[in-house]
Amino acid sequence: MADIIQLLPDNIANQIAAGEVIQRPASAVKELLENAIDAGATNIQLIVSDAGKALVQVIDNGKGMSETDARMSFERHATSKIRNIDDLFSIKTMGFRGEALASVAAVAQVELKTRRAEDELGTFITVENSVVTKQEPCAANTGTSISMKNLFFNVPARRNFLKTNAVETRHIIDEFTRVAMAYPQIFFSLTINGLEQFHLESGSIKQRIVQLLGNNYNTKLVSVKEEMDYVNVYGFVGKPETAKKTRGDQYFFVNNRFIKSAYLNHAVSSAFSDMIAKDSFASYVLFIDLDPAQIDINVHPTKQEIKFEDERIVYAFVQAAVKHALAQFSIAPSLDFTLYLWSQCKIERWGTV
């Protein structure tokens, strides 16, 4: 009998890999915005047409790329962030796997225009089905503009699985909100079908929350700020009257990366116990900073799920920080933060005080 195992062609292998990273237009939005942040941009524009199916474009004023780097950026596992295995456990950047642009180029028609400040001319590249179809010098502003057109044009079955334009647009706005929330010092704009939906000037975290979630939060936010050697927690929680029947306005960021964690959600909701109805959800935007070596962000392609080295300590600290903030604003009974945290850590660790 003939041998039956064979290597997949590169373009098919790339499309399979892209399926993990680029599941819908919003996936590309997240990856491209994160690349712009890693490039040191202070001004990032997101332009979307037809719910991202026709166009997702990100324009930034970051450091741009050389001609060689521009070409290399579309290769799978090409990255400027990882040199050895230890680097995986000290990641401070957003993108790091070297999969984003390769994945986008496997399932869309891509145009890249980029220039470094020290270069007289920039580089223009087009890629289709993982193949570079054009590369030439061009006039360009410092930074990078990347356009993803006709998503899934070469895998129509995947395109058929996309939801309605309203649903896909909602996902895009969600991803944009999460990234913009984490970087209030950066200007962001979002234009959908020619209409500017968000114009976010740089400012404080509170200003960015109000810009994104609405003016009704302006007088209804309680500041959270606690620091220890192991972990820092800061941000804002909504006063009890902002609680909702859905989980809408709940944001956790670990080292500025948006994460999903039912465990930490429980830490916040338990801090609000007896202040809001059992079937309501508190609103919050909370940032957790800790040594990158204490977490593993390489457990899921979207990087929205992470593992903590000691999640019980983080849980106790978040719960104590929120309780303390509410007490400070006379919304909850007064609290000795250090004593409370110590007792919670003992409960978390040993099940008793």
Tell me the per-residue pLDDT of 67-123, one tens digit each, with 9 for 90 and over. Answer: 999 999 888 665 554 445 455 555 555 554 447 888 899 999 999 999 999 999 999
Nearest to 310 by CA among 351, 343, 263, 353: 263
Q: Based on the fold, state whether residues 146 and 229 are members of the same structural domain.
A: no
In a domain, 190, yes or no: yes
State the chain's mean pLDDT as an integer: 85
Report yes or no on 1 lying in a domain.
no
Position 81 in a domain: yes
Q: Are 317 and 325 in contact (CB under 8 A)?
A: no
Residue 145 phi, psi dihedral angles, 5° rounding: -120, 125
192 lies in some domain: yes
Are residue 196 and residue 253 in the same domain, yes or no? Answer: no
Strand pairing report for 231-238 and 250-254: unpaired
Q: Angle CA(79)–CA(101)–CA(61) in degrees, nearest 5?
A: 85
- What average pLDDT does this structure show over 187-203? 98
**Shared domain check, 244 and 323:** yes
What range does the domain containing 310 cover?
208-350
Per-residue pLDDT of 260-282, as tens digits, reads 888 999 999 999 988 888 889 99
Phi, psi of 36 (to 5 degrees): -65, -40
Half-sphere exposure of 321 (CA within 13 A, CB side): 27
Residues 113 and 62 in one domain: yes
Domain co-membership, 294 together with 318:
yes
The per-residue pLDDT for 6 is: 74
Total domains in the chain come to 2
Specify whether the CB–CB gap between 254 and 288 falls below 8 A: yes
Within 8 A by CB and 6+ apart from 83, the residues are: none
> Which of 181, 200, 219 finishes a domain?
200
| Dist. CA 194–CA 182, nearest whole Å | 25
Q: Would residue 272 count as lying in a domain?
A: yes
Looking at the structure, do residues 243 and 307 belong to the same domain, yes or no?
Answer: yes
Q: Are 241 and 339 in the same domain?
A: yes
Domain end (from 200, 216, 238): 200
Q: What is the pLDDT of residue 3?
A: 79
Higher pLDDT, 352 or 302: 302
Same domain, 237 and 177: no
Here the CATH number for the domain that contains residue 103 is 3.30.565.10
For position 230, what pLDDT does the model report? Answer: 85
> Rounded CA gap, 285 and 68, in Å?
40
Residues 30 and 125 in one domain: yes
Instruction: Establish if 339 belongs to a structural domain.
Output: yes
Question: Do 67 and 191 belong together in one domain?
Answer: yes
* Single pTM value for the model: 0.86
The span from the CA of 200 to the CA of 193, in Å, is: 18
2 within some domain: no
Q: pLDDT for 270-317, tens place per residue? A: 999 888 888 899 999 999 999 888 776 654 555 556 676 788 888 999
Q: Which residues does 280 contact at the CB level (< 8 Å), separation at least 6?
A: 243, 244, 245
Q: What is the DSSP letter of 103?
A: H
Q: Which one of 177, 200, 223 terminates a domain?
A: 200
**What CATH number has the domain bearing residue 321?**
3.30.230.10
Distance CA 252, CA 121 (A): 41
258 plus 119 within the same structural domain = no
Query: Is residue 3 domain-resident?
Result: no
- Mean pLDDT for 207-228 is 95
For residues 80 and 131, membership in a common domain is answered with yes
